[in-house]
Structure 1
């Protein structure tokens, strides 16, 4: 779709009176958004599911010259980030077209609950608005690599002539370290991290972590977040099994599986409808890494795979959607409803693979 789903442009013959035009729009319950007086053209609003019906009805009125869909003229943001050409996942989910619908918002905040973030990384510097360490590590900085990689996928600086492009473009980042430098964290630390992120204004919480063991405390924390209007995006796990993985399996979370380039499930990804909600790219994903030595063995930028990486794509998209519609329930529903049907939809995952452009058109 390359037109707005809730708008039409209607042109009338010059001799038709304005009163009659207003009468027609009133009969169809289609409010005027704008008009071009010079050639008697009006832009009107309608419900998306009535778009084609209204267009046909309008064309039958005397005095209507033509009815047009209000198409999208794209400003063509082309990322100048030198490594963007290697970001197959961002290209796969139609990010460049999505970025011409919205560039996101600095008012949206993504909390990355992970191993910390290298806040001085040139593709992240200035985006992290707070850091909190719940682990025994001496620093909230990322000595592991995992957290910085996740943060880059979701929200690295875009079009800054440096490194990669982050899906969310403009969101602020909250660095909430709940996993230690070995990538492990306690249930209590993760729960405290969720509550902390919520209380400090997070709109999206990225949970690229989990366990096969359920926890009442974690479940209470994700319920608290949902009650406060925060979107929770969680990784489905890397055991290559239809095995419940928490917190992803809790209904409060959007659970994400990982995909290969050809839209088949990654060999390591957990699966299973209905507890896995949707899927996103998760194999050989290029993103930011700490500028100092870390557990991945790579610095600055590098490739990692996992449902963790897939989850970060969804978090970045959720941030973009919230910049257009701040209602978390609508964003949650549209994330699922606008996915692309791929092999395994309905069996491996309840919905298909995310498509950023389509999601933004319908949010």
Structure 2
């Protein structure tokens, strides 16, 4: 492999800092124009690398260009005279195994002094395209045809000047990070025309802004705590779970899909209410109170701005399937194309998972996605007296009450009918 001459140097200052980075296996390409070293390390973070650094270190600026340079050699020059360590990982993928850098640790005298450079909370950088669709800035998702090879992938990365951040398999999707000089739209055209690519899609973004905010008191008033334990667990993909309810018997577990390993919370309260209904601890008006509970796996899929994305939802489906969950509830949706998320939904269905999705609250004779998918069960709402609610979208497989009283307030929507139907299915299956 040819190694190009290194012409990079560290400078004290520069008036117009800019940088571009690509990582492919153990090789890297970096172009920097007076960019702070902290920004360069942040580019590594954007490409899926965990960066830990001693906060006491003084960081300079970087100016120069490195082409086809060993990653370790690049890091050594960037952080000198400080010490560093690098960890690697092997990721299996449909076209072959990928060898990727996973962690960079930069320190002075003691490695233990290094701390994570960026706080762990993930907030999506969402932009709106010319057609009005929303997606994560600087990322695309690509699926390859059967029989494609690693060389097909590497050839595409060279055209895009991109880096594989993540492999979501199944359904076999590559999440690719772009540099700022190439738009998502341009990258999509390049990928679609590349031999071996089956399909390409933006990393689509979805919002929960139309869902009600539910104030949580934590008093547990009105909750049915006399439930016998059930067997079939329901994964609730929503805004999270208020910690006041995390230790209750019907909560099987929690998972923050935006930042795995973090303690879960719930900025809006909507996910908490949906989880209570899915477990049977709260019963919508007009429905019979159950005696058997459904264990709930509460999965936080929305960031603090109420946004989620294709990769987060696909990762969550994979997590739920791997956790042995048999039922998933999604109390949100969109009228836009969901792209590769449909592949993930179909995969879950093929694994025997039943997915209940709210049909939508616009009173239309259609359903939001993915409720409209034949691989899901679309749930519409009644008014609690058996009549289809005026707000409910009517393209639904099942209708049930979407009205629930909680903490002295009344809430309604198909987002509350869906977890009730999931609960009935789970307890009837036991």
Q: TM-score, normalised by structure 2?
A: 0.43
In structure 2, the residue matched to 1:153 is 277
In structure 2, the residue matched to 1:94 is none
312, 315, 327: which one pairs with 1:192? 315
2-structure distance, mates of 1:121, 1:319: 21
110, 124, 128: which one pairs with 2:251? 128
CA gap 1:179/1:277 in 2 versus in 1, 3 angstroms: same
Q: Which runs of 5+ in 1 are unaligned?
A: 1-80, 88-98, 159-164, 288-299, 324-363
Q: Tell me if structure 1 keeps the 8 A contact 2:332–2:357.
A: yes
In structure 1, the residue matched to 2:398 is 278
1-structure distance, mates of 2:391, 2:281: 29
Pair 1:266 & 2:389 matched? yes
SS in 2 for 1:214: coil
In structure 1, the residue matched to 2:353 is 230
Is the strand fraction higher in 1 or 2?
2
CA gap 1:125/1:166 in 2 versus in 1, 3 angstroms: farther
SS in 2 for 1:132: strand
2-structure distance, mates of 1:125, 1:252: 32
Pair 1:214 & 2:337 matched? yes
Q: 1:130 offset after TM fit, Å?
A: 2.4
1-structure distance, mates of 2:379, 2:265: 26
Q: What is the correspondence of 1:137-152 to structure 2 with a 5 Å cutoff?
A: 139-152=263-276
Q: What is the correspondence of 1:53-68 to structure 2 with a 5 Å cutoff?
A: none
Output one character per residue of 1:97-146: Cα deviation in whole Å (capped at 9) or x when no partner: xx9xxx77532111010000124328x61332322212379752112111
Q: What is the correspondence of 1:239-254 to structure 2 with a 5 Å cutoff?
A: 239-254=362-377
CA gap 1:209/1:139 in 2 versus in 1, 3 angstroms: farther
Q: Tell me if structure 2 keeps the 8 A contact 1:155–1:166.
A: no
State the structure with bigger RCO (CA 8 A, min sep 6), 1 or 2. Answer: 1
Pair 1:308 & 2:427 matched? no
Is the helix fraction higher in 1 or 2?
1
Q: Tell me if structure 2 keeps the 8 A contact 1:167–1:316.
A: no
Output one character per residue of 1:203-224: Cα deviation in whole Å (capped at 9) or x when no partner: 1101111111122321111111
Q: 1:181 offset after TM fit, Å?
A: 3.6
1-structure distance, mates of 2:334, 2:376: 14
1-structure distance, mates of 2:401, 2:230: 25
Output one character per residue of 1:61-103: Cα deviation in whole Å (capped at 9) or x when no partner: xxxxxxxxxxxxxxxxxxxx9737xx9xxxxxxxxxxx9xxx7
CA gap 1:242/1:104 in 2 versus in 1, 3 angstroms: farther
In structure 1, the residue matched to 2:427 is 320
1-structure distance, mates of 2:279, 2:290: 6
In structure 1, the residue matched to 2:325 is 202
Q: 1:259 offset after TM fit, Å?
A: 0.9
Q: 1:169 offset after TM fit, Å?
A: 3.0
SS in 1 for 2:312: helix
SS in 1 for 2:422: helix
2-structure distance, mates of 1:219, 1:83: 37
CA gap 1:113/1:167 in 2 versus in 1, 3 angstroms: farther
CA gap 1:82/1:244 in 2 versus in 1, 3 angstroms: closer
Q: Which runs of 5+ in 2 are unaligned?
A: 1-219, 283-287
In structure 2, the residue matched to 1:106 is 230
Larger radius of gyration: 2
Q: TM-score, normalised by structure 1?
A: 0.51
CA gap 1:183/1:168 in 2 versus in 1, 3 angstroms: farther
Q: 1:306 offset after TM fit, Å?
A: 0.7
2-structure distance, mates of 1:166, 1:146: 21
Q: Tell me if structure 1 keeps the 8 A contact 2:229–2:250.
A: no
CA gap 1:167/1:315 in 2 versus in 1, 3 angstroms: farther
Q: Tell me if structure 2 keeps the 8 A contact 1:258–1:306.
A: yes
2-structure distance, mates of 1:198, 1:169: 23
Q: Tell me if structure 1 keeps the 8 A contact 2:275–2:419.
A: yes
